[in-house]
Amino acid sequence: MFRLLFISLLFPSALALNVPSITLKNAAVPGITMQAMGIGTFGYASHPGQKAEYWNNSVTATAVSAWLKAGGRRIDTAYDYRGEAGVGMAVLHQTEVHRSEIFITSKVGGLPPGYNDTLEQFQEILTQMNLTYVDLLLIHWPGPLPLKSSDPKCKLISGSDKECRQSSWLALEKIFKSGGAKAIGVSNFEQNHIQDILDLKSLVPSVNQIEYHPYWHEDGLVEFCQNHSIAVNSYAPLGTPDWGPDHRDWNSTILDLPVVKEIAKAHSKSPAQILLRWAWQKNILLNPRTWNDDHMAENLNIFDFELSDDEWKQIASVPKPATPKVCPDPHLIK
């Protein structure tokens, strides 16, 4: 069980909201903490006017600025999100919050890029955000092999998924040891993928960012990670409600489930707050994506109540649709 810490007086807005943090272990600078609530910055729409939220550098900068003003201090982005410049603009073009008080996560990939390409991508990440370091750097996906890579261990003919992610991890270790990232970890890694990193007998990931919500919650993977002092970070903790139910076989969004609405009413909270609290009660860090100021305030106010064991189990046992995941299934990656 992770020890919960409250943000120090350096974070007055977050402190007022009682937003807790988890102290990262393993491949992390001693004492570094990661706030429970962050903001995701990846949108699914490819152009304005589509049904889902549209995110680009401008939208990202506006949302991150609003997030910081609301008291949020953690931001999640990636090389593939096409919004990293917006993150940098928001962080650097404000004076209320010092950079040292802001926790920025980025990711290399999509697919594991291999040793040299990981180092090159990381320099592009810093350039895009106009920063000198990130707080957490992740390998975005465990595989499959990229179509192009300068790393022999990542080539389609001579390499393998395992060798490629191991090579990419060794590049992250170099970045960490050089001070480019205060912590390093992985994303979308299943137990066997993490074991490949453990087999290196070197640094252990500090974080595994995975999809986690009532339709898809791998509690065995969570237990495995936490037993190895790997913090678990949930993306899509609300599903993707901006998409609505018509892009998959979901008859309703998770927010619209009757049991979620009933529990929300009992606690005088919104359905979104119930779902976020549901994950947090397993010590799972959260990355809900929103550009709505009211939703940001809601997301930061889930720490003044608790769900009962029965309520947690009711939500965990909701009937699953045939396609329960938002993103592809990492189990399919060797």
Q: Which two tokens stand for residue 82?
A: 């096409």
Residue 96 has pLDDT above 80, yes or no: yes
Residue 186 has pLDDT above 90, yes or no: yes
Q: What mean pLDDT is reported for the chain?
A: 91
The confidence score (pLDDT) of residue 82 equals 84
Buried b (16+ CB within 10 A) or exposed e, 94-122: eeebeeebbbbbbbbbebbbbbebbbebb
| Residue 247: band (very low, low, confident or very high) from pLDDT cuts 50, 70, 90 | low
Residue 47 has pLDDT above 50, yes or no: yes
Q: For the domain that residue 263 is a member of, what is the CATH number?
A: 3.20.20.100
**Rounded distance, CA 183 to CA 23, Å?**
11
Residue 9 has pLDDT above 50, yes or no: no
Give the 3-state secondary structure of residue 208.
strand
pTM summary value:
0.93
- 81 catalytic? Reply is yes
Identify residue 272 by its one-letter amino acid code.
Answer: A
pLDDT tens digits for 61-95?
Answer: 999 999 999 999 999 999 999 899 999 999 999 98
* C-beta of residue 229 within 8 angstroms of C-beta of residue 23: no
Tally the domains of the chain.
1
- Please tell me what DSSP assigns to residue 79: G
The confidence score (pLDDT) of residue 45 equals 57
| Residue 17: band (very low, low, confident or very high) from pLDDT cuts 50, 70, 90 | low
Alpha-carbon torsion angle 30, 36, 39, 44, nearest 10:
100
* C-beta of residue 275 within 8 angstroms of C-beta of residue 254: yes
Q: What is the mean pLDDT of residues 260-277?
A: 98
Residue 303 has pLDDT above 70, yes or no: yes
Task: Tell me whether strands 33-35 and 20-23 are parallel, antiparallel or unpaired.
Answer: antiparallel
- Of the ranges 183-192, 242-251, 292-301, which one carries the lowest mean pLDDT score? 242-251
The one catalytic residue among 44, 54, 81, 212: 81
The confidence score (pLDDT) of residue 4 equals 35
The confidence score (pLDDT) of residue 328 equals 92
The confidence score (pLDDT) of residue 126 equals 98
Task: Decide which of 113 and 46 is more confident.
Answer: 113
Q: What is the mean pLDDT of residues 157-166?
A: 93
Provide the domain limits for residue 313.
Answer: 4-332
Terminus-to-terminus CA distance in the chain, angstroms? 30
The confidence score (pLDDT) of residue 98 equals 94
Q: What is the mean pLDDT of residues 270-282?
A: 98
Percent of the chain's residues with pLDDT above 70: 91
Q: What is the mean pLDDT of residues 284-299?
A: 96
| Residue 246: band (very low, low, confident or very high) from pLDDT cuts 50, 70, 90 | low
pLDDT tens digits for 23-39?
Answer: 999 999 999 999 999 99
The confidence score (pLDDT) of residue 54 equals 81
The confidence score (pLDDT) of residue 11 equals 37
| Residue 240: band (very low, low, confident or very high) from pLDDT cuts 50, 70, 90 | confident
Task: Decide which of 270 and 50 is more confident.
Answer: 270
| Residue 43: band (very low, low, confident or very high) from pLDDT cuts 50, 70, 90 | confident
Q: What is the mean pLDDT of residues 161-179?
A: 97
Give me the sign of the Cα torsion angle 172, 175, 177, 183.
negative
Residue 10 has pLDDT above 70, yes or no: no
Residue 6 has pLDDT above 50, yes or no: no
**Rounded distance, CA 132 to CA 212, Å?**
31
